Amino acid sequence: MAAARGSGATIPRLGRQPERTEASRRALIEATIAVLATEGYRAATVARIQETSGLSRGLVGYHFGSKAKLMEAVVEHIRSDYQAQTSATGEREHVAGRDQVLEMFDSYLSRLARRPNPAKAMLVLAIESGTESTAVRRAVQDAYARVREIYVRMLRKGIEDGTVRGTVDPEAHAGVLQGMLRGIVLQYSLDPEGFDLESMKKAALASLEHDLSPG
């Protein structure tokens, strides 16, 4: 795969048709993420996305049908990628529930430091989609809900295995965890040079451990 112009997206090489189709779709999704994260929602026009991807004009319509459908595909791509990367953490039954929560929280912020664009793009879509597209807003709502569900399962396991205090409300705390992550993403996005992400991560983890632990 060759790098596209200034985006981190990729231009697919020639190959079999199904491979070319999937490579083109992925390049457009990656280009959209890059534009959303670095230039904002209003800059993410079909023309700008196609320019950033380095692909031929008309492929957004060919692959997705509309800009809204492309944005829905971006949300699903980010969600699926996040779930794939966290499944090893979230589904290790031998790990105590509280430790699963802490590891998942830690891994999210560690990925934010390495690859900030997906989290930033999702935040942009969460903020802007409310006035732009009902379908995109619902896709973001669903993605956020699925993350909360993972935290709910971990917290319930922690209550059962004794690593999370019994008075914790799993649903409410899952929302708090989601809110903490999005707040950190927002602050880091606004001032990546002045915001000490590593220190914030350590402070957040220490606070969570203290809050969740029994006694």
pLDDT digits (tens, 9 = 90+) for 26-74: 999 999 999 999 999 999 999 999 999 998 888 998 999 999 999 999 9
Main-chain dihedrals φ then ψ at residue 204, nearest 5 degrees: -65, -45
pLDDT at 88: 54
Give the whole-angstrom CA distance, residue 46 versus residue 33: 13
Concatenating the DSSP letter of every residue in 108-126 gives: HHHHHHH-HHHHHHHHHHH
Is the domain defined by 68-215 classed in CATH 1.10.357.10?
A: yes
Token reading at 215: 């006694």
Q: What is the DSSP letter of 12?
A: P
Structure pTM?
Answer: 0.82
pLDDT at 81: 85
Q: Is the pLDDT of residue 2 over 50?
A: no
Direct distance between the N- and C-terminal alpha carbons of the chain, in angstroms, rounded to an integer: 53
Pairing of strands 2-3, 10-11: antiparallel
Residue ranges of domains in the chain? 1-65, 68-215
pLDDT in tens, 80-121: 888 777 665 545 678 999 999 999 999 999 999 999 999 999
pLDDT in tens, 12-25: 554 566 677 888 99
Q: Which amino acid is at 83?
A: Q
From the list 92, 24, 89, 115, the residue with the least C-alpha distance to 63 is: 24
